[in-house]
Every structure is written in C-alpha cells, then in structure tokens.
Structure 1
Amino acid sequence: MHEEELFGVKEDNKQRLGLQSPDVNDDLCPERQETELTLIKVEVEDKDTPHIKEEVDTSSVKEEEEPLPFYNKEEELMLSDIKEEEMEEIVTKLVDEDCPSEESSSSSQHITTEGEKDHCKDSQEDGLLAPISDDNDAESHSPHTDDDEEQSEGVNLAVFRGEDGKAHVLDAYCPHLGANLAVGGRVVGSCIECPFHGWQFQGDSGKCENIPYAEKVPDFAKVDVWHSCEVNGQILVWFHCDGEEPQWTVPEQEEITKGEWVYRGRTEHYVNAHIEEIPENAADLSHLTYLHTPGIVSGVDLRYTKNKTWQFVQHHWKAQWASESSPFNHCSQMLLKHSLHVFGIHWPLLDLHVVARQVGPGLVFLRFDHSFLGSGMIMQSVTPVEPLLQCVSHTIFYQSNIPAFVPKFILKGESIQFERDVMIWNNKTYISKPLLVKEDSTIRKHRRWYSQFYSENSPRFQYQRDTLEF
C-alpha cells in the first residue's frame, strides 16, 4: 500500500469551530439540561522548552492585566463619583508610580498556557486546543495569562452553561475584589454572578451587566472571555502565546454527534513529563515491541511484565506514522495493527485496526474497527496542569448496540498499556537532542512536525539558577 493511501485523510473541513455548540446526544450527558458551573485550573508547564500553545479551542490571548494600585486615604474615591476619563487618568498615574517597568519585569511575563520544556522555534501555526470540560463530566484546561509569573503556574477559569444551554469560559476572578466566580457563584440567565457582592458578568462579552448596590455600572467593568467551542462532547478553549486567532478547527465526529456512538467511560492520569513526550509516543515505533508486547494480564509494573509466568499471552504490533500535508499540516496519523497470540497461536478474531489521528499538540482521536466487536473511538486530550505535569484523559464512545462491557474492556486494556508508558515518563528526563539511530527516524520527523506549535515567545522552564538567590 502506498504511503498516500495509508495516511490519506478524509476530512470534512466545512464545519468550522465557532461559538455555537453542536447538537450532542442528550442521553450521553443529562447534565446538559441543567445549569453548570465549573472551576477550571490550567497551568503552564515547561522545562527548558518553549511553551506550547495548545489548541484550546477558540480564543485569543488576554490583554495584560494592570497590577492593582495601592490607594492612600487621601486618594480614596467612590467609583460612582468620578467620570470614566478621570478614573482612567487616576489609574494610569498610580500604575506609573507603583508598578515596575516592562524592562525590569521577568521574562516569564509572556508565558501563557500549555508549556513545554526546551524547544524549537517559531511557527505561525501555534496553538493549543485543550478540553476544558466533558459533556459527561467536567474537565480542566489550559488558558493563558499575559504579563504575570503566575502564568507559569497556572490559570483559573470559570466555565458555566447559561440558562440558554450555551457554554461560556471566563477568567475566574472578579475584577472588583478578586472573588472566585466559580466558587459559590451562580448562573443568572446568560450571566455568572459573583458570590461576594453580586456583580453579574455576561458570558459572551465578559461585561458587567449589573451591580446590585450601584446606580451605574462602569463601562470598563468586565472580565476576560475565553471563546469556547463545544464539539464531540467536549468544551475546548483556544490558546496562543502570541494572541493569534484559531488557525484550524477540531473535526466533528458525526457518529458521536448523531448518537450512533455513546459514552462508555473515561480514565484520567497525571503524568510528570514534558508535554511533547506524550504525543511523541506515536512516532516511537520501536518501543511498541519492547514495552507493549507482554499481555495485559502481566499488569503495569515494568519490573514484572516480562515475568515468564505471563509469557503465554503476547500482543504483536505493526505501526506506521506520518504527518499530513496542507491544509492539514497541523495533523498527523498513526496506523496501528494489533494481533493477539496465546501460547504462540494467533487469534485472528481479536485482531484490531486502529487509526490514531492527532489534531494540534494536545488532541488525539483513536478510531478502531473490529470484525464482530464493532467500532468506536477513544479521544485523548493532554492538558498542562503545571510545569512538567500533564493531565491526560481518555474518553471512549462506542456503538450503542454493542454491550457496554466490550468498550469498557477495551478502555481497561488501553489504560493498562498507557500506564506502562506513564511509569517510564514519570521517571525519565527530557532530552532535547537525543541520541538516535537510523531506525528512530520517525522520532526526528515527529519533533520537526511538532516544532510548529512553538513560537519565539514560547516561555522556557529554567532548570537551574546561576546564583543561590532564589
């Protein structure tokens, strides 16, 4: 089979990611009928490599927040007593006096979302789409922060669904006195209400719509909005460290949208690793034979997986990886064929064909088809939580007419194999210039492909300091 045939992609690029949420089967997620309020904490992670901008679906980078000025008693004024122009002059004056200049601030000020350790250069196609929430469950995501060191440690988001059913993603902290909108706040129409003083902010624009004790709402009272899109039962937020608009969309899986495939389970793992190493696994073809050949009955502890007791069950793998061409050069594909051997005998009924398609730096769609066990999909998402800590979730959708134990068994088997990788990742170091042999050529190709998700402004994680002044 030619490489073009093997990795050709049929992509329906007609549907663009927008603010409107697609129809999702209500049976999958009954919670969609209720008002939802979720706190999302997303953190920047990195280690000597620039931060990735993960495609968190829709949005741009926030404008830098001005540090809160300190007022003297003589300068205390009520908002309602000053005009907007005067207020801007006062704030500008106080910021000039009290805040450090750009030149003296840390380089981490440009950090934003999903971080990486030490990486390649710029690319106009940077972006990170990380799931902020599942329709079946709430999930965390990664946004960005503009000019603040907290950026590298994470960002809090408030994710809620208005009474009209539309999902919104806002910065979690009220600009009034900093209360967390997602902790004790409530949904009022299409607004979220602060639990501290009752300020209400619109989900679409972030603009303050009502202050219960004030005669007038200042025009500049608002919180930053992360434009979100809801697709395949997930809410995604777009992040780009340079503030660029989304440059690609996440493909809709029609079987999920139409309800032909239903939700059958989800796993979540926290991995101590550079974010790039997780998707790089797809291009590391040689590790499949060594790490994943022992049967799943031998467990996840690598000290015992090659025990002779379990050698009668073995998984055999054949895989290929390749990046896709324009206009899908932000995507790559892995073709995987799995066969099971028991006591050396091949059981063809358990052969499994998997097509793993990665979209951007953090989303992978693993579609598998079986001769009599049906077909389904596992969606993998990688969300940075903090430097060198990733949250990896796997959500499975499967044919509705297939008994639930079948997809649950598949998800369990995938989880066991994945945890073997986790044991490696949790105890290894990231090498930006690894020693590779000819047979590792796909790893080199993958790193070249993945470099498009970094830019010159991608922050780097510092391993060490030159002095003892911490």
Structure 2
Amino acid sequence: MHVEENVPTARQYGTGWYLALWSGELTEGDVVPLKYFGRDLVAFRGDSGKAFILDAHCLHMGAHLGYGGEVVGDDLMCPFHNWQWRGADGANSNIPYLDRCIKKQLKTWLVHEQDGLIYFWFSRTGSEEPTYFPPKVIEAGRSDFYPVYPHGALKVEVTFPPQFAFENVADLSHLRTVHKWAEVPELNGAGAYGDMFHTDLTGTVPTRSGGATVRNENWQWGPGLIYSRLHGLHPTGQITAATPIDHETSSYSMSVWVQRIGEGEVPVGRAKAVIEEQRRQALNAEGNDRIIWDNMVYLDNAALVGDERKTIGVHRVWFQRFRSDTPPPTPPPIPVPEGTPYPQPTIEDDLDTASGSISESPAVHSTAETLQGG
C-alpha cells in the first residue's frame, strides 16, 4: 500500500479528478501558474484551443514556466533561455541556439475540460489510470441557466482537508442544526456505487414566506468533486470541488449554475441571492459551515449513532478506496424507494488509456438525463 507517513487520514491525498481552474481563466495564449499536491504546475492554452498542465520548472535551469512563459503553437516557451516544451507530452521541442533537442520530458498531467471547468487527474502512486470521469452538469448545457463563469465561480483557500466539507453529502442531521432546515430531511436513497457516492433527500427549508419543500441530489465522484442538484425554490446545479494545495491547505470552490431571471448574462434577484448564500455559508470565514470546518479535528473513530452509521459511516469507508491499494469493502447502498422518478445509478466504464483518451458510456441518469459523460 502507498502510505503517506505521518499524515493524518483526512489529509492524505486521494487518487482522482480535481478542479484546476475555470475555462474562463485560461483563454487562448494564457499561461497560469498553479500549485497543487505540493508541486508547482503551469497551465496554458495552446493555439489549437487545448488546455495543458505541466510540471512548472524548466528542465534546463529550473525557471518557472508560469511566470513569463509564452505559448508557441501548442508548446510552452521558457522565459529564461527560450527552450520550448510540448504540451502534449512534455518533451523538449526546441532549443534556439542548438540544432537538436535534449531527451528530457516535463511531467504532463491528464486534463479533461467540460462545462466550463478544467479538471486534471492525480494519482497518489503516479501510475493509476482513470477509472471514472468528472460528472457532466445538466444545467451547463441549458440556455435557461446562467453560465457559471464568472458570476457563479466561487473559490477560497482553506486550511481544512477536503473530507471535512465532503462528508456533508452524507450528514443529514447537520442540515437541521447548521442550516436550520425544519427537520432532519428524509433520506430517499444513499450509498456507494463504485467511484461514486450518492445521496438523495427531501426536506423543508425556511423562507420569508414560510417553509418550502426541496429535494437535494448529490453525486460525489472520487475524493475531489461533488455534483449537486437542488429542486424547489430556485433550481440550481453545482460542482463543489476541493483540490489539495499541500497537506495543510486546499483550494475549495463552488461552481454554481442558477436558473435565469430575465435575459441578461448577470444573475439578478433570487438567482443572485442563491449564489451569495452559498458564498456566505460555505466560503466566508464566518459562514455556518466554515466556522465549524476551520476549527474541528478529524476523529478516526467518531461516535456515529443511528442512521449516521449508514450514511457518514459508509461514506468514510468508501472514501478510503482512493487512498489505499486494499480499501475495506463498502456496504451495499440503501435502495432508492420505488416510485422515485429516476433509476438507480450504475457504473459502466469503458476506458481507452493506451491512447491517452477516455471514453465512457452513460453512468448515472436522473429523469432520463445523462449526468456522467465522456
């Protein structure tokens, strides 16, 4: 087993897809320095329109390509001595004062871009190939929803590990105590399906005009991404992402698609309020969630009671599959009740990793719409 010595369980890195940045932050010719998983990285968009992520330091003399580097075709040119490195495979492609290239390659990171988000694949061992794909956001393809960038793109740097926030998908009782739902919501279905953990719940939230019934569906794909859909009040789709910067800090973000009001491109009225409420509760330092996550500790043997064992407990066991070569078996999911208007999720992967491309048949459906795509 690949072990990160002296790193607490909740702060260990997990293999999976993570959010690097929004597509709107990386237009053609842009070069952006990044730091994730304790490594300096650089993202750039080539003339072909493709996004690339490489290790950041030039193999000539160590200059950081993210500061002063320039895009040349689909290559990235170092600002120090103008050596060029290919985005596709990291190979040295040009040395301006030499008639040959050296046989060295920068590490390249597998990139997948969809729905206005740029994801990259992290392997804790360095050799694990993708076994799933980032979730496809239904709302991103609908004209009656605002584009996610820039108004629905929210991000902060935090010191709590991703698991603290992501356990919320399985923590029903906190919705009453922290978010002031009228009661603990009814659990329609929950459990692990391969690399995806799903919860579906219905409850009553307070509004100025009284209680309103809402349904919240969550699909956590791997250790770094959650796709949520809120039905009732104001329809919303959201990707919550947590990408470790190192073992002590993470980039925590929300990509929020809200249903349009009027014809403009800037959210107004209730749509704007939905985005601001997400910012207030989860991202602001004094928000309902943040004040807890920033100050809590992770208990490996938490005193879970009642249905918490079926939700939070199972989620914790499932989370370990991304950190271990021999994860413990995950209990079977709680069945979705008969009459729920969508079939239970199934995982059907078809990976073509030999060519570096990934294709996948539809894996999760909601009201006959595909949530998972290649």
The count of residues paired between Structure 1 and Structure 2 equals: 305
Q: Using the alignment, how far apart are the partners of 1:202 and 1:425 within structure 2?
A: 41
Give the superposition deviation at 1:342: 6.1
Q: Tell me the amino acid that sits aligned with residue 134 of structure 1.
A: W
- Asked if the contact 1:339/1:346 (under 8 Å) is kept, the reply is no
Instruction: Show the counterpart of 1:193.
Output: 77
Which letter maps to 1:339? T
**Residues 46/390 of structure 1: CA separation in 2 closer, same or farther (3 Å cut):** farther
SS of residue in 2 equivalent to 1:366: strand
Given that 1:271 and 1:422 are in contact with CA atoms closer than 8 Å, whether structure 2 keeps it comes out as no
Choose from 124, 129, 142 the match for 2:17: 129
For residue 279 of structure 1, what is the amino acid of its counterpart?
A: F
Paired with 2:83 and 2:106, the residues of 1 have a C-alpha distance of: 11
**Alpha-carbon distance in 1 for matches of 2:160, 2:106:** 33
Distance 2:206 2:9 in 1: 41
Matches within 5 A, 1:45-444: 47-49=7-9, 52-54=12-14, 127-137=15-25, 154-218=38-102, 220-242=103-125, 243-257=127-141, 259-261=143-145, 262-263=147-148, 264-293=151-180, 316=183, 318-320=185-187, 322-325=190-193, 329-341=194-206, 346-348=210-212, 351-370=213-232, 373=234, 375-400=235-260, 402=262, 404-405=267-268, 406-418=270-282, 419-441=287-309, 442-444=311-313
Which one scores higher on RCO, CA 8 angstroms, separation ≥ 6?
A: 1
Instruction: Give the deviation of 1:292 after TM superposition.
Output: 1.5
Q: Distance in 1 between matches of 2:18 and 2:118?
A: 8
Counterpart amino acid of 2:254?
H
Q: 1:232 to 1:205 in 2, by over 3 A?
A: same
Distance verdict in 2 for CA 1:236–1:340, change over 3 Å: closer
Report the CA distance shift for 1:342/1:215 in structure 2 as closer, same or farther (over 3 A).
closer
| 1:201 positional shift | 0.8
1:251 CA drift (Å):
2.8
* Residue aligned with 2:185, SS: strand
Q: Which residue of 2 aligns with 1:450?
A: 319
Structure 2 residues not aligned, in runs of 5+: 27-31, 328-374
Deviations 1:291-343 (A, max 9, x none): 221xxxxxxxxxxxxxxxxxxxx755515362243xxx211122243434469
Task: Call closer, same or farther: CA 1:254–1:446 in 2, change over 3 Å.
Answer: closer
Instruction: Work out whether residues 367 and 376 of structure 1, in 8 Å CA contact, stay in contact via their aligned partners in 2.
Output: yes
CA contact under 8 A between 1:368 and 1:377: conserved in structure 2? yes
1:181 Cα offset (Å): 0.6
1:167–1:143 CA distance, 2 compared to 1 (3 A): same
Task: Please state how far the C-alpha of 1:256 moved relative to its aligned partner.
Answer: 1.5
Question: 2:214 corresponds to which letter in structure 1?
Answer: L
Normalised by the length of structure 2, the TM-score is 0.73
Q: For residues 359-412 of structure 1, give each alpha carbon's deviation from its aligned partner in whole angstroms, at most 9, with x where no partner exists.
A: 1111011112336x4x33111100112223222101112334557223221122
How large is the RMSD of aligned CA atoms in angstroms? 2.8
Q: Which moved more, 1:171-180 or 1:426-435?
A: 426-435
Q: 1:196 to 1:268 in 2, by over 3 A?
A: same
Provide structure 1 residue ranges, at least 5 long, that are not aligned to the other structure: 1-43, 55-126, 145-153, 294-313, 459-470
* TM-aligned CA deviation for residue 190 of structure 1: 0.7
Q: Which residue identity is paired with 1:244?
A: E
1:356–1:365: 8 Å Cα contact kept in structure 2?
yes
Distance 1:292 1:141 in 2: 33
Following superposition, the deviation at residue 257 of structure 1 comes to 3.9
CA contact (8 A) 1:133 1:140 kept: no
1:144-199 Cα offsets, whole Å, 9 max, x none, are 5xxxxxxxxx1111100001111111110000000001100100111100000000
CA distance in 1, matches of 2:191, 2:306: 19
Match of 1:122 in 2: none
Distance (whole Å) between structure 1 residues aligned to residue 134 and residue 201 of structure 2: 22
Alpha carbons 1:53, 1:128 under 8 Å: kept: no
Render the CA deviation track for 1:109-161: whole Å, top value 9, x for unaligned: xxxxxxxxxxxxxxxxxx221111101336987755xxxxxxxxx11111000
Letter in 1 for 2:222: G
Give me the identity figure in percent.
28
Partner SS, residue 165 of structure 1: coil
Give the conservation status (yes or no) of the 8 Å contact 2:36–2:243: no
Q: Which has the higher helix share?
A: 1
Deviations 1:79-114 (A, max 9, x none): xxxxxxxxxxxxxxxxxxxxxxxxxxxxxxxxxxxx
**TM-score normalised to the size of structure 1?**
0.59
